[in-house]
Each structure stands twice: as C-alpha cells, then as structure tokens.
Amino acid sequence: MSKVERQRPFEQDEVKRRSNFNPVEENLTPEQAALEASRCLNCKNPLCRKGCPVSVNIPSFIQKVKEGDIQGAGEIIRESNMLPSVCGRVCPQERQCESKCVLGIKGDSVAIGALERYVGDNSAPVKTQIKENGKKVAIVGSGCAGMSAAADLRNAGFEVSVFEALHELGGVLRYGIPPFRLPRTVLDREIESLKEIGVKFYKNVIVGKSITLNQLKEEGYDAIFICSGAGLPKMLGVAGENLNGVYSANEFLTRVNLMHANEPDTPTPLKVGNRAAIIGGGNVAMDAARTAVRVGYKEVYIVYRRTEEELPARKEEIRHAKEEGIIFKLLHSPVEILGKDGFVNGIKLEVMELGEPDESGRRRPVPTGKFDTMDVDAVIVSLGTGPNPIIQQSATKEHIDIETDKKGYIIINENGETSVKDIYAGGDVAPRGESTAINAMGAGKTAAKAIIEALCTAKV
C-alpha cells in the first residue's frame, strides 16, 4: 500500500484573508488530485456512497480521476448531482461520505469533497438531446432543491419555470453562504448551465403574492414543486432585542452577500462597530462571524450555550474561524441585550454548565445563576430559521389544504408529495433533520422523480 498522505488544498494566509472575501481554500492542483485519487481503495461495497445523501458513485468517479479523465469523472458525478462544484465546497463531508470511508478508520479518509470540487470545476455538463413532453412544472424557489429538481425535470422533457422572490438566483447559496466559502463565479456557472438546457427563471416573483398556486394551475402548470426553504429567522426573545445593532444572521448576511453593503459605493448601508457577538454555533453563525471579521469588526465572538464538542458547525469552518481570530465564548447564554440611546452597547450572559443529555442526544445546558456582561456594539442572532408562512397563508386563502406540522413545515411523503395532488415540496420547507445543500438537492431529485412518474407514466 502506498503511503500517500491526504492532500490538503492550498489555503489563503490567515492574516490576509481577514480582510477579503476571496475563497479561503484553493482547488487541489492536478498533481494533488491525482495523488488523492490514488488513495481510494475502490471498495467492492463502497460505504462512502451510503454516506452521500444522493448516492454519488464515488469510487467510479475517483477511478476516472486516477485515469486522468476529468470530464468522464464529471459525467459520473452529474448522474446523481448536478452541482458538484457547490456540494464539493459546502457539504459537511466529515458527517457524510468521508465519515464512512474505510481509510478513515485508521487514518485520514479520502478527500472526496475536494475531489468532487476539483472535478466539478474542471468538467462541463453533458448536453443531452431533450425530448419535449409538452408538460409544464412550476418550481417555487431557486435554491438547491429547486435547481436540482429543475435539472432533472428539464432533462426529462418538461417545460420548467423557476420562480424566485429575490432579484438574484440561488437562495441560501446567494444570500447566505459567503463568497469566501462559495465563489460567486461557481454559483453563476451552475445556474447558467441550467439556463442553457432551457430552464426558465423568473426573478422578483413571490408565489403566494405575485402569483398564487391556483393562478399557476390556470397558467397550465401540471405540477408545482414548493422548495421555498426555511428563511424566517428565529429571534432570541430577550429584552433589548429590538435595539439598533441587533441583527438576524439572515439580515446581516443578506446585506453583505446579496446587497454588497461592504463594498465602497454600494448604497445598502452597513454599520460596522468594534465588537460583535454572534449568538449560536451552527454554520450560519460561523459565516456571520467570519463575515463580521471581514467587514471590519475588530473583535468577534461566538456565544454558544454548550461546549465546543456540541458545536453543530462543520469542523473545518470552526478551524477557519479560530484561525481568523474569532473568540469562542462557550457555555454562555444571552439573557438581555443592553443599550444606550437606542443602540446596543452590551450583552448580559448567563454562565451555563452541561447536564444530562436531551432528546437530541447532546448534553443539555443548565443555567448556573452566574452572570457575565460583555461590551459589544452588534449582536447577530443565529439560532436557526423556520419556514416562511407566505405560501401557506396564500394556499389557505385559496382553500388549498396543504398540510403542515405545528411549526409550519409542509408535510410530505417519501416521494415528496404533499397532501394536495400535483403539489410537491422538499428541502428546508419540509420537516427536516440536518438541513444541508446536498439534502435539499436530494429532496429536489426525489420530487422530480415522483413528478416524472406521476405525469409521464400514468398516461399510456
């Protein structure tokens, strides 16, 4: 057995990257990619595939990389995943494919994500001849679920229209995940490839407001796929939450990523202070913290009520955040936001300790009755999001009875069907476990398959 070590992509200098939005990680070089591919044992029963939510044929594509056939490798990936350049960058591989890699038992697993990214960036989608089937599908939302469903449905011959509420396409990939994790050229190229196969995109259209579900049916859409995500931010519910300087992570990231508020001469304003506290420990919290550093906050804190062990963010992002100087204030939970003249000037935290495991299996944070106060001029709340109620409210008004659960997520069966015929849903708008780009893509594929079966095979 060769003793090739896991290849690490080149990373931007940790000091320099604090002031720019360029990608932190470069791609593997061709030599690195070949070396990394040579580490794969090409298992007969590849467990890595089981760890991938869309079951990419990982050993096969890696064999192609070994042979130097990058285009061929891309074709294999794109059979299951239309957005390899995105997934190779944003998937939590250490909990998915790479966690199952047999090499990982004794050493480092194969860098499947880095290889997928390399292949995605260096290969082109195959243009197949599309046989029109004369049917129309409306997709509500242009995020990961919408893009993957659009690709599959279009390739199956449907006329596909994607409706997006914002003025740019991509959902969270556009307004949430910062360019230092996902360069916009990569995202734009993926969207462009969908336009090239004939997927139509309508920006500035809010389904439920600009056009309702019934009106879509009147326009001749045979099926509707709702993948409007979970964009409604959860707030803290503590005193002082509406002081100036308290943001949801969504607002903060949207101002920077979508509206470019950090760039000179952009009219969307951003107020940059000295010290920011980000409340929460997920990927969005890391993105917000690392963005805060880049727009010029001098000290940035992650305030999290459990310990580092339980942080839900990707390990790599936590490492990057630390390298960029972000301070982790663990076992602290906010109880009040303090202010002066209407602006935030501090935050009162309660010290926590870990108790018994809760239903999530993680040890529950328990208040100690001890408090701590920090001077900050911004508080960015990143406690997760819930489904946006617009489409559901509109459906109810039209007497379309789409069942939702108590939290407002749309209930679907294993095929992505809702309680209403010809209306499908998937991605973060449906009840979810871990919400990731690749899970949303998987949901898009599932719904697309069900739509194809329902509309193409039923009629003989």
Partner 1 sequence: MEDNVGYKILYKKELCQNQYEIRIKAPFITKNAQAGQFIILRVDKNSERIPLTIADYNRETEELTIVYMAVGYTTKKLSKLGVGDEIEDIVGPLGVPTHIEKYGTVVCLAGGYGAAPCYLIAKAFKDAGNKVYMIMGARNKDLIFWQDKMKNACSELFITTDDGSLGTKGFVTGVLSDIMAKEKVDYAIAVGPMPMMKAVADLTRDKGIKTEASMNPIMVDGTGMCGACRVTVGGEVKFACVDGPDFDAHKIDFDEVINRTRIYKDQEKRCDETNCNMIKQAVELENSMK
Q: Judged by CB under 8 A, does residue 22 bind partner 1? A: no
Kindly state whether residue 113 participates in binding partner 1, applying the rule CB under 8 A. Answer: no
Any contact of residue 264 with partner 1 (CB under 8 A)? no
- Of positions 109, 123, 155, 250, contacts partner 1 by CB under 8 A: 250
Using CB under 8 A as the binding rule, the residues of this chain from 133 to 162 that contact partner 1 are: 161
By beta-carbon proximity to partner 1, the closer residue of 52 and 400 is 400
- Contacts with 183 (C-beta within 8 Å, 6 or more apart), sequence order: 22, 23
Task: Verify binding: residue 167, partner 1, rule CB under 8 A.
Answer: yes
Residue from 33, 111, 147, 166 touching partner 1 (CB under 8 A): that is: 166
Name the one range near partner 1 by CB under 8 A: 2-10, 70-78, 144-152, 209-217: 209-217
Is there binding between residue 373 and partner 1 (CB under 8 A)?
A: no
**For the CA atoms of the chain, what is the radius of gyration?**
23
Could you say whether residue 391 binds partner 1 (CB under 8 A)?
Answer: no
Q: Is 244 in the site for partner 1 (CB under 8 A)?
A: yes
Of 306, 294, 362, give the one whose Cα is nearest residue 332: 306
Contact flag: residue 269 with partner 1 (CB under 8 A): yes
* Whole-angstrom distance, CA of residue 322 vs CA of residue 14: 10
396 binds partner 1, rule: CB under 8 A: no
Q: Which is nearer to partner 1, 134 or 237 (CB)?
A: 237
Query: Whose CA is closest to 149, among 431, 422, 416?
Result: 416
- 195 lines the binding site for partner 1 (CB under 8 A): no
Q: Which is nearer to partner 1, 236 or 451 (CB)?
A: 236
Q: What is the smallest separation between the CB atom of 265 and partner 1, expressed in angstroms?
A: 7
Angle in degrees, CA 259, 262, 263, rounded to 5? 85
Q: Does 202 interact with partner 1 (rule: CB under 8 A)?
A: yes
CA neighbours within 13 Å on the CB side: how many for 93? Answer: 25
Nearer to partner 1, 200 or 348 (CB): 200
Instruction: Candidates 7-15, 84-92, 98-106, 247-255: pick the segment binding partner 1 (CB under 8 A).
Output: 247-255
Q: Are strands 275-279 and 378-381 parallel, antiparallel or unpaired?
A: parallel
- Counting runs of H as helices and runs of E as strands, what totals does the chain give? 17, 15
Run of H or E residues at 447: helix 437-452
Residue in 11, 94, 241, 316 binding partner 1, rule: CB under 8 A: 241
Contacts (Cβ under 8 Å, ≥6 apart) of 13: none
* Distance in angstroms (rounded) separating the CA atoms of residues 234 and 47: 37
Q: Given the rule CB under 8 A, which of 25-33, 73-81, 200-208, 328-336 is the region that contacts partner 1?
A: 200-208
Among 8, 195, 209, 319, the residue binding partner 1 under the rule CB under 8 A is 209
- Is residue 165 involved in binding partner 1 (CB under 8 A)? yes
CB of 360 to partner 1, least distance (A): 25
Using the rule CB under 8 A, give the single segment among 123-131, 141-149, 259-267, 347-355 that binds partner 1.
259-267
DSSP string, 77-101: HHHH-S-HHHHHHHS-GGGTHHHH-
Distances, alpha carbon 425 to alpha carbons 159, 219, 259, 305, 444, in Å: 18, 20, 29, 33, 8
Alpha-carbon distance of 289 to 283, in angstroms, equals 10
Binding residues among 325-344 for partner 1 as defined by CB under 8 A = 342
- The span from the CA of 292 to the CA of 300, in Å, is 7
Size of the site for partner 1 (CB under 8 A): 46
Residue from 245, 280, 281, 444 touching partner 1 (CB under 8 A): that is 245
Which residue, 43 or 205, has its beta carbon nearer to partner 1?
Answer: 205
Q: Are 279 and 255 in contact (CB under 8 A)?
A: no
Q: Which residue's CB is nearer to partner 1, number 88 or number 339?
A: 339
Q: Contact with partner 1 (CB under 8 A): which of 47, 102, 232, 351? A: 232
d(CA 437, CA 383): 18
Phi, psi for 109 (deg, rounded to 5)? -70, 165
Q: At residue 54, what is the residue type?
A: V
Would you tell me which residues interact with partner 1 (CB under 8 A)?
A: 161, 165-167, 200-206, 209-212, 215, 219, 231-233, 235, 237, 241-245, 247-248, 250-251, 254-255, 259, 265-271, 342, 385, 388-390
